[in-house]
Structure 1
């Protein structure tokens, strides 16, 4: 399986090295690091990696999570906490067929002390929660080991077919386009736009659109933009169809592991 492991802003070199070791044990080799806060090639990291030192040295570094996920067709965030208007974390067994059926999945892990923040989880189609006891605080490398095991070694069956879905970069471009059109036609406003877009993300991510389908959807959006411009209409802000839901905090908050 072409599985990537993405570490967002890791703080401790030893944790990065230990995560690389966990990956190698489970058969994963594509390590991606987003905005690291440490030298991931520090001697401590290399020592903790043991025989995975080459995997560690081959890691790719990105400035943003969006860049790290650009070529992925499925991104799975990790969190133990339920967030308002974001998909609830699911058991690994529930997500296993989805991950194993993807052509280029990614597992995303947050900083050691906070986990993934809301804006990171927005970029993930689904979220996985590692089943634990009442005390849920796993070391980064432990989390990488367990989640990689669930999706790489946990079962023997191979999916009958793999459906090629749109990359995350294609979908992020689609969501940016959708936001523009929502503002243009008065579907939402600046205050509620993020909340409304989260609802649309959840709906469209469940559809697992192909590249062609995402282009088809954007073709509709372009037609709306052209039509509004051609008739010279200045839309009046209408009701936000997500506004009847419970209000949410738009600030990104820390996530617990």
Structure 2
């Protein structure tokens, strides 16, 4: 499986090296690091990686989570807390079928002290929580090991039929387009926009859109903008009885 492990703003070299070792144990090899606060090739990181030193050296560094997820078609966040306006975390085993259906899934872990913040989790289609005892705080490498085990080694079962879904970059572009359209037609305002978009994200992410479907949706949004601009130019309100310009479903 082409599973990428994304570490967001890790603080200590030892944790990065240990996470790389955990990945190698479970058969993952694509390590991505977003805005690290330390040198991921520090001697402590290399020492903790042990036989995963080559995996560590091959890690890719990104400035933002959006860039790290751009080519992924499924992103799975990790969190031990319930968040307002965001779907509740699920047991990793329940998410395994989604991950195995994806062509390019990503598993996202937050900083050691805080975990992923809301703006990070917004970019993840689903969130998982590792079931623990009363003390729920896990070391970063422990979390990487456990969730990678669930996704890569947890159960020997036939691989389901793969369905190619839109990349996260395509979905983020679509959500930006949706937000612009909501403002254009007065569907929301600056105060409510973030909450409203979160609700739309939760609904549309569950659909696991293909690239063609995301383009279809954006074609609809372009038609809405054209209709509003046309009505404004005519000095009238947009209505169904006015002639409309057609937009091809596959237009970008």
Matched, 1:47 2:31: no
Partners of 2:87 and 2:179 in 1: CA distance: 20
Alignment-derived partner of residue 247 in structure 1: none
What number of residue pairs does the alignment pair up?
Answer: 235
Deviations 1:230-255 (A, max 9, x none): 110799xxxxxxxxxxxxxxxxxxxx
Pair 1:187 & 2:187 matched: yes
1:26 correspondence with 2:26? yes
Conserved 8 A contact 2:166-2:208:
yes
Q: Which residue of 2 aligns with 1:97?
A: 97
Find the residue that maps to 1:37 and give its secondary structure: coil
Contact 2:100 2:160 in 1 (8 A): no
8 A contact 1:9–1:111 mirrored in 2:
yes
Structure 1 stretches lacking a partner, 5+ long: 236-257
Match for residue 152 of structure 1?
152
Q: Is the 8 A contact 1:15 1:45 kept in 2?
A: yes
User: Structure 1 residue 91: deviation in Å?
Assistant: 0.4
Q: Is the 1:100–1:158 Cα contact (8 Å) retained in structure 2? A: no
Q: How far apart are the structure 1 equivalents of 2:19 and 2:159?
A: 27
**Structure 1 position 158, deviation (Å):** 2.7
More displaced 10-residue stretch of structure 1: 159-168 or 211-220: 159-168
Cross-structure match for 1:36: 36
Task: Please give the TM-score of this superposition, normalised by the length of structure 1.
Answer: 0.90
Superposed counterparts of 1:216-235, under 5 Å: 216-232=216-232
Q: Could you tell me how far apart the structure 2 residues matched to 1:119 and 1:169 are?
A: 15
Q: What TM-score do you get using the length of structure 2 for normalisation? A: 0.92
- Partners in 1 of 2:236 and 2:122 — Cα distance? 30
> Secondary structure, in 3 states, of the residue corresponding to 2:61?
strand
In structure 1, what is the equivalent of residue 204 of structure 2?
204
Counterpart in the other structure of 1:143: 143
- Cα distance in 2 for partners of 1:181, 1:158 equals 42
Q: In structure 1, what is the Cα distance between the partners aligned to 2:153 and 2:122?
A: 27
**Quick check: 2:170–2:214 contact (8 Å CA) kept in 1?**
yes
CA separation in 2, counterparts of 1:38 and 1:102? 32
- Report 1 or 2 for greater relative contact order, CA contacts < 8 Å, sequence distance ≥ 6: 1
Displacement over 6 Å in runs of 4+: none
CA distance in 2, matches of 1:106, 1:225: 34
**Contact 1:5/1:107 (8 A) holds in 2:** yes
Mapped partners of 2:151, 2:228: distance in 1: 46
Measured in 1, the distance between the counterparts of 2:138 and 2:160 equals 34
- Unaligned runs of 5+ residues in structure 2 are 238-252
8 Å CA contact 1:82–1:89 kept in 2: the answer is yes
Task: Supply the distance in 1 between the matched residues of 2:90 and 2:200 (Cα, whole angstroms).
Answer: 19
The alignment partner of 1:231 has SS state of: helix
Distance 2:52 2:171 in 1: 33
CA RMSD of aligned residues (A): 1.0
| SS at 1:127 equivalent | strand
How far apart, in 1, do the equivalents of 2:34 and 2:118 lie? 16
